[in-house]
Amino acid sequence: MPAYRFARRPAYDFIELPPGLVDDMARNPPCAVVFGTLAQRGQTTRRSLARLLRALPRGVWTVFDVNLRRGFAPPDLLRRCLRRSRIVKLNEDEARRLGERLWGRPLPDDQLVRRLRREFGVGIVLLTRGAAGVSVYADGRRHNLAGRRVRVIDTVGAGDAFTAAFLAHFLRTGNAVEAARRGNLLGAWVAGRPGAVPPLDNAIRATLT
């Protein structure tokens, strides 16, 4: 598993909302907003994101990519993020740690998802399992999608690639299961190449469209 070191007082701890942005987003809302936990260790960014999420009109897909990093993500922040989320994406390790931080122990996957739905109103949960694929919890059901075989070179960026491909398809079609298949495809493709953002070739572009 990759390990990360983070600089003290990085710029993303101090993100401020430009004047008028909240009003502009209320008038011309985006289709989706994706957010995580790490940048919110800075109070400035945390307040900015909370203000932005409160201002979003109903119907915007709020996507919480849990993305836990060691040393941050206190339970109160996790609860606030979950309350603002319509879609939650996390991996198996994050699912275990989320259970520990919110309920004192790891929970079986189905039980964890039930609690996310019941206590926070989350609609869709995407639980990625690396080579084993992904479980999509949507419409009251769990859909298990197998992973794609790939010679792994660099897993950094694969999770973000999954989320990007998922949203690109889901926002067009509303089909969470097929969108997760596209996410699996792009995530595996990225893991099989060096670097977190390898340039897309025509073959992968054609497969995703």
CA distances from 37 to 20, 27, 130 (A): 25, 27, 21
Rounded CA separation 170/173 (Å) = 5
Rounded CA separation 109/96 (Å) = 9
For residue 63, which of 43, 49, 42 has the smallest C-alpha distance?
49
Rounded CA separation 24/70 (Å) = 35
Q: Which residues are catalytic?
A: 160
